[in-house]
Every structure is written in structure tokens, then in C-alpha cells.
């Protein structure tokens, strides 16, 4: 749905990059695979990159889609084979090219979810690090150092602790808090910190609280709701 809102069709994707295999980060991959397959005018592989375990996850996803794939093959005379998916499992420090951009994979700490990866995406002038879930660690510091922007999933520890659920409190030890993300950004000397996958979602009128919690970072702080755009040249933010 977010691809559609951004006017990007799955057939326009150079590839899909996964940070880790938690369900809230990968459960829609089945729709991307199916739509890429049925909308491509000729057989075209979908490239999927991710940590070790991605190949098993993609195979299981295709198995789950087997009945649907059979229906579509029976209905469309010009579909003669199922989806083509090329999986590349990455180790930390692996580099690859995607859509004309250089991508570097780096280890993150989301244990017991492991391995998990962040990615530094670079063109000629700018670098952006997409860290995914996890807590601060030396390998994340190295990946983020000197980037133009650092995108980090974050939680509000103060708000999570108000909810009387031990299971929910469990998330605190393997997700960066806003304060931790700000400290990482400051150490790395980035220009912009983009807070995303915010838990719990900010209520209208409380956005300033998130920025105040990130005040240890002295650069631009962006609340990265879906469809927010950051221009890396001007540092202008639009939504």
C-alpha cells in the first residue's frame, strides 16, 4: 500500500532488502512477490537480500502461496511458471549494488533475533543508514559514522512502562529508545536522525516530546511517519 501511495509499482523495484525476519518487517513480502510476478510483462526475477535465514523464509512464503500460484497459472494463459525470486543472504561487511546505489550490510544487535542487519546506502554524494530494530552497538556505530542521515526504529520507554504488560516490557531490551538513537546519531556525526517504527505511535500534539527526548543529538530530528520525505541536499522535510 505504501509503494502504491509513493507511485511505485512492484515491477519498478530493483530489489527488496530485509533487516531481519520478525513478522512485522516481512509479512507483506508475499504480496510484493505475487504482484511483481503477475504484473511483469515477461518472467523477471525479484531480487531479495537479507540475513541468513532469508532463503528459508522466502521458500516458506512461496510454499504458502502454492495454491494461489496454481489458480493464477490456470487462469492466465501467458503465465507459464511461478514467481522467480533470487535470494542473496548477506554477512556483515558485504557490499552489493542495487538500483545504481552502493549498499553495505552491517551487523546490528537485536538479540535473540540474529543475525540482523542494517544497511548503508550510498550514491556519489550522500549516505543513508537504515538500521532496523536493535540496540546500540559498536558495529552500528561504525556503519552510521559520517552518514548524511540515520534511520532508526525507536520506542518510548517511559510510555511502554506505563502499560501493565510484562510481555510488552520485554521489548525494551532489544529496541533502541529515542535517547539511545540520539546518542548513536551524535557519536556518528550525522546530519539528520530519522525516528521511525515509533512505539507507541505519537499522539497528535505530542511530537515535541519525541524531539525533546532526542535532544542529545544536535542535528535535524525527523519524525519519520510513512510518506515523510527528507531532501538530503537541503534537509527539507515534506509529508
Pair 156, 219 in one domain:
yes
Pair 127, 239 in one domain:
yes
- pLDDT value of residue 239: 84
Active site residues: 24
Pair 123, 134 in one domain:
yes
Pair 157, 217 in one domain:
yes
Pair 54, 138 in one domain:
no
pLDDT in tens, 49-69: 999 999 999 999 999 999 999
Question: What span, in angstroms and rounded, lies between the C-alpha atoms of 137 and 135?
Answer: 6
Burial of 132 (0-12, 13-18, 19+ CB in 10 A): buried
pLDDT in tens, 83-95: 999 999 999 999 9
CATH number of the domain at 201, please.
Answer: 3.60.15.10
Pair 66, 163 in one domain:
no
Q: Are 132 and 153 in contact (CB under 8 A)?
A: yes
Torsions phi, psi for 169 (to 5 deg): -60, -25
Among 90, 123, 139, give the residue marking a domain's end: 90
Domain that holds residue 19: 1-90
Pair 119, 81 in one domain:
no
pLDDT in tens, 173-230: 999 999 999 999 999 999 999 999 999 999 999 999 999 999 999 999 999 999 999 9
Averaged over 33-60, what is the pLDDT? 96
Out of 41-45, 49-53, 145-149, least confident range? 41-45
pLDDT in tens, 82-133: 999 999 999 999 999 999 999 999 999 999 999 999 999 999 889 999 999 9
Pair 75, 37 in one domain:
yes
Q: Are 30 and 37 in contact (CB under 8 A)?
A: no
Pair 66, 103 in one domain:
no
pTM: 0.93
- Number of domains forming the structure of the chain: 2
Amino acid at each position: 500500500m505504501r509503494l502504491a501511495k509513493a507511485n511505485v509499482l512492484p515491477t519498478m523495484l530493483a530489489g527488496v532488502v530485509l533487516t531481519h525476519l520478525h513478522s512485522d518487517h516481512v509479512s507483506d513480502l508475499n504480496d510484493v512477490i505475487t504482484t511483481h510476478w503477475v504484473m511483469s510483462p515477461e518472467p523477471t526475477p525479484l531480487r531479495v537480500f537479507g540475513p541468513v535465514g532469508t532463503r528459508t523464509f522466502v521458500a516458506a512464503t512461496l510454499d504458502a502461496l502454492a495454491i494461489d500460484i496454481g489458480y493464477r497459472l490456470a487462469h492466465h494463459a501467458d503465465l507459464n511458471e511461478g514467481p522467480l525470486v533470487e535470494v542473496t543472504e548477506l554477512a556483515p561487511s558485504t557490499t552489493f549494488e542495487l538500483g545504481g546505489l552502493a549498499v553495505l550490510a552491517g551487523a546490528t544487535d537485536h538479540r535473540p533475533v540474529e543475525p540482523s542487519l542494517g544497511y548503508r546506502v550510498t550514491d556519489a554524494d550522500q549516505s543513508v543508514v537504515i538500521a532496523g530494530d536493535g540496540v546500540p552497538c559498536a558495529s552500528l556505530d561504525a556503519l552510521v559514522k559520517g552518514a548524511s542521515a540515520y534511520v532508526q526504529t525507536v520506542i518510548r520507554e517511559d510510555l511502554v512502562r506505563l502499560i501493565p504488560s510484562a510481555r510488552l516490557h520485554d521489548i525494551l531490551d532489544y529496541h533502541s529508545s529515542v535517547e539511545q538513537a540520539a546518542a548513536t546519531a551524535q557519536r556518528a556525526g550525522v546530519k539528520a536522525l530519522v525516528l521511525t517504527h515509533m512505539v507507541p505511535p505519537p499522539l497528535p500534539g505530542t511530537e515535541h516530546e519525541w524531539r525533546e527526548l532526542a535532544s542529545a543529538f544536535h542535528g535535524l530530528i525527523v519524525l519519520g511517519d510513512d510518506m515523510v520525505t527528507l531532501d538530503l541536499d537541503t534537509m527539507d522535510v515534506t509529508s
